[in-house]
Structure 1
Amino acid sequence: MQSRSVQALLATLWSSSCLAASSSKTPDFATSEAGNPFVDGWYADPDTQFYNGEYWVYPTASRPYDEQTYLDAFSSPDLVHWTKHSTILTADDFTWAHRAVWAPAPVYRNGTYYLYFGANDIQTDSELGGIGVGVAEKPEGPYRDPLGHPLIGAYHNGAQPIDQDVFVDDDGQAYIYYGGHSHANVAKLNDDMISLGTFDDGTTFKEITPENYVEGPQMLKRNGIYYLFWSEGGWGGPDYAVSYGMSSSPLGPFDRIAKILQQDEAVATGSGHNAVIQVPDTDIYYMLYHRHPLGSTNGNDRHLAYDRLYFSDDGTIEPVKMLVHDNFEDGDMIGWETYGGDWDAKTNALRGTASSGGLALLNTNFSDFIYEADVKISKKGNNNCVGYAGLFFRVSGPSSDDDSFKGYYAVISTSGSLVLGRTDATGVIVLGREEVGIESTEQHRIRVTADGSSIHVELKGERHAVISVKDDVYKSGMDGVRVFGIEAEFDNVNITRISSS
């Protein structure tokens, strides 16, 4: 299997073509251009289809079971700007469903939109529930019950009837893959898409459980190869992950090849239950999944994300990297927490205003990394006082008291300087300063490389400047931006781990 070098990955991230991709008709990104999570709210178990020129994402509403009585959906023309469609399906329209409405699986056929889902989280065959199907005339529903009962309402081969995925092969045969409680089945769907067919041997359900399977199967066909993805670990914990197998048949066998998506202690935990987004008529694929924010202890605190899926020449899949990027093209700052100041991204850049200091942070925990962003001071400081704006990193202890945090900063000031410093919640220590004649309203690219005790700051462009120091007071922490005494805007944020692999 061929692995992409760190240098090649960074080149992709930092290239102008990548930064401009959000305006392209073909979304060719390294990760979600406008940041992950890419939509607001607690959601999980996403699946996806491309309908009528738009990407559609159908997730579980990540709430306590008794509150999971509906499904929302999101649509986008470009994988950047998303529209929410609320309550496209509700349990009120399915007489047998009353809780735990999970993992919708969309497909279009016969002039009808179908949405398959699990409900009631049944634990035995004596309970009513399982996998149902809704039908609608539009992708956003409303979805109604054509059966009046579950499509699959009992255990077969030990598989709990949940977490279905529907796949239509090139010959027109539709299959439903599903299963919880560490067992996976596949069955044929008849042409009506609301009844099950049989295999040549007369059976309806075939077990295809691969090694380490827990739940969440997902089928993809690429270049004649069938890929089965599944989730491992516990859905509410940090070890939730995605593995995959390959086969020449939609029925397998699917021998486990590798785990390709798992927690990253610098970005998020509990990354699992995936789907795959394919950009139509291209070989561009994205891993769509849910994950937990760092430090969260609530199993339902799950959010939607996507990152690039790369295939090697032999068809195997490379490990997915959860990258951190935000160009604010969605006009939002989902995933950012603010401490002091006024912040918004309505102008497709993160704008901050603060007379006494304001901080906006991402919930990350990088130790060794490259952090880049565009910074522009848009207004002189108040009363001719010196103001500054720039990048803050390895931050800890943020609170509503904006000056209570600890960490490093690399900023440009209204006095024309590039400054690298450290704050310990009681004061600041300047570690380096370069006078470069910075002018207000100019946009500057600041790049911070932190590798152990080595901290290197570069102001890129015409007013080039470099500051390099050794300082090991803070080893890791959150990343973000800060303004003090001025208005400023930030754009094209990228944070990438430095790795020796």
Structure 2
Amino acid sequence: MFKKRIAAAAVGLLLSQNPVMANPLELGEGLRTADPSAHVWQDGRLYLYTSHDMECQADFHMQDWMAFSSENLKDWTNHGVILSLDDLSWADNYAWAPDAAYKNGKYYLVFPAGTGFKDRVNPEKSTKWMGLGIAVSDSPTGPFKDAIGKPLWTEPYANDPSLFIDDDGTAWLYFHGKNHDYYVAKMQDDMLAIDGDLIKMDMGGYEPKMEGPWVFKRGDNYYYTMPENNRVLTYYMATSPTGPWQYQGQIMDQEHQANNHHSIMQYQGQWLLFYHRWYQATDSDCHKRQRHSTAEYLYFNEDGTIQPVKRTDSGIRDFADKVMK
């Protein structure tokens, strides 16, 4: 009886540490993905573009980007690596959070990458630099090819891009930048360069530390969402993609004092929040939490504001049943 109790407790512990049967998303055994960017293309499938953490990596030295797609958000197709640092001539490290867009009959992947070394003990000795690249493909799953062979700009340091295509076809590029948070760049029509200078947006007087912005539109409202202080998901609203923005507050609280990165997309009439969550996975020999792509349902109030979202172990596994009701 005692041995049975021990065995039952062990199983319970494993399940509590790794609720893989619901959240995180079942993208592939042993995969560690983060920064999921969700898009719905002409074929009606939902696509996720993610960064790819190496198993037990000591720091964020990711090497490539991946894509996944699904029709029911339960069964996912792994399309593999769609772009790698090996495909770049101007960067050799930091394959961080990507985003994607469809325009001019092509699929565009905007991605951050860099060079140098980040000294976390003595930051003044750091040589790390990051910039934003643009890759293009005829297919949503690539392979993508570096379109210009260089970053879109070298100053300021930038990462965490978000591409938003407005109703009139204008493409806006939001990003996290050194001394340039809350700036936006208008893209040229060919998507291969920015059109004019970076634009400083009016954030209504509130500009906390942030990273990973994501912008979307619902009705007449534009939403600028972000991990505030790199942890808590918060948002602003506006009636223009460049503001002025009005701060609205929190979408999702932080967890484990760990970073977060997200996207928000409507699919088959249901709004969804994709983000990464730090789990200690049972299919790993690494005895620490690692990042995994996850999802929750997202709801709006009548005035367009977003209802707070709680992390769940059930996630969106009942999506197919939910949208059929």
**Structure-2 residue corresponding to 1:195:** 193
Residue type of the alignment partner of 1:135? V
Superposed displacement of residue 233, structure 1: 3.1
Q: How many angstroms apart in 1 are the aligned matches of 2:76 and 2:243?
A: 36
Is this contact kept in 2: 1:56–1:76, CA < 8 A?
Answer: yes
Please say if 1:231 is aligned against 2:227: yes
Contact 1:275 1:288 in 2 (8 A): yes
Paired with 1:169 and 1:260, the residues of 2 have a C-alpha distance of 23
Root mean square deviation of aligned Cα: 3.1
Residues in 1 aligned to 2:155 and 2:32: alpha-carbon distance in whole angstroms: 29
Q: CA 1:76 to 1:260, structure 2 compared with 1: closer, same or farther past 3 Å?
A: same
* Structure with max Cα Rg: 1
Distance 1:173 1:82 in 2: 31
Answering whether residue 175 of structure 2 is matched by residue 178 of structure 1, we say yes
Unaligned ranges ≥5, structure 1:
1-31, 235-239, 331-491, 493-501
- Structure 2, unpaired ranges of 5+: 1-18, 119-123
User: In structure 2, how many angstroms separate the alpha carbons of the residues matched to 1:164 and 1:323?
Assistant: 27
Q: Within 2, Cα distance between the matches of 1:49 and 1:110? A: 16
Report what 1:6 is aligned to: none
1:222 paired to 2:225: no
Kept in 2: contact 1:229–1:245 (CA 8 A):
yes
| Matching residue's letter, 1:92 | D
Q: Where does residue 76 of structure 1 map in the other structure?
A: 70
Query: CA separation of 1:55/1:326 partners in 2, compared to 1, >3 Å: closer, same or farther?
Result: closer
Q: Could you tell me whether the CA contact under 8 Å between 2:70 and 2:76 is conserved in 1? A: yes
- What TM-score, normalized by structure 2, do the two folds share? 0.77
Given candidates 310, 314, 319, the residue that maps to 1:325 is: 314
User: Which one of 40, 58, 62 corresponds to residue 53 of structure 2?
Assistant: 62
Structure 1 residue 44: Cα displacement:
1.2
Deviations, residues 344-364 of structure 1 (Å, cap 9, x unaligned)? xxxxxxxxxxxxxxxxxxxxx
**Could you tell me whether the CA contact under 8 Å between 1:260 and 1:317 is conserved in 2?**
yes
In the aligned structure 2, how far is the partner of 1:178 from the partner of 1:327? 28
Do residues 304 (structure 1) and 293 (structure 2) align? yes
Q: Distance in 2 between matches of 1:310 and 1:104?
A: 25
Equivalent pair of 2:73/2:316 in contact (CA under 8 Å): no
Q: Secondary structure of the equivalent of 1:92?
A: helix
Name the counterpart of 1:313.
Answer: 302
| Distance in 2 of aligned mates of 1:80 and 1:91 | 30
Deviation at 1:327, TM superposition (A): 9.9
Amino acid at match of 2:192: I
* Structure 2 Cα separation of the partners of residues 128 and 324 of structure 1: 37
- CA–CA distance in structure 1, aligned partners of residues 271 and 224 of structure 2: 15
Name the amino acid aligned to 2:139: K
Higher mean displacement: 38-47 or 96-105: 38-47
Contact 1:121 1:130 in 2 (8 A): no
**Superposed CA offset, 1:318-371 (max 9, x none):** 1002222289899xxxxxxxxxxxxxxxxxxxxxxxxxxxxxxxxxxxxxxxxx
Map Cα deviations across residues 152-190 of structure 1 (whole Å, 9 max, x no partner): 3211xxxx4100000011111110000145723101001
What are the Cα deviations for residues 15-61 of structure 1, in whole angstroms up to 9, with x where unaligned?
Answer: xxxxxxxxxxxxxxxxx996110134211111111122211101111
What do residues 360-411 of structure 1 show as CA deviations (whole Å, max 9, x unaligned)?
xxxxxxxxxxxxxxxxxxxxxxxxxxxxxxxxxxxxxxxxxxxxxxxxxxxx
Q: State the secondary structure of the residue aligned to 1:276.
A: strand
Q: 1:298 to 1:75 in 2, by over 3 A?
A: same
Confirm whether residue 286 of structure 1 aligns to residue 243 of structure 2. Answer: no
Q: 2:6 maps to which residue?
A: none
- Correspondent of 1:255 among 243, 246, 253: 246
CA contact (8 A) 1:180 1:214 kept: no
Residue 224 of structure 1 aligns with an amino acid whose one-letter code is: D
Counterpart selection for 1:244 from 216, 223, 235: 235
Match of 1:152 in 2: 153
- Residues 121 and 162 in structure 1, CA contact (< 8 A), matched pair in contact too: no
Partner of 2:5: none
Higher relative contact order (CA 8 A, sep 6+): 2
In the alignment, the residues of structure 2 paired with residue 36 and residue 321 of structure 1 have an alpha-carbon distance, to the nearest angstrom, of 13
One-letter amino acid matched to 2:233: V
CA gap 1:57/1:49 in 2 versus in 1, 3 angstroms: same
Q: How many residues end up aligned between the 2 structures?
A: 280
CA change 1:213–1:233 in 2 (3 A) is: closer
Does structure 1 retain, via aligned residues, the 8 Å contact 2:62–2:94? yes
Q: Does 1:169 find its partner at 2:166?
A: yes
Q: Secondary structure at the match of 1:302?
A: strand
Deviation at 1:69, TM superposition (A): 1.7
Aligned partners of 2:287, 2:186: CA distance in 1, in Å?
Answer: 39
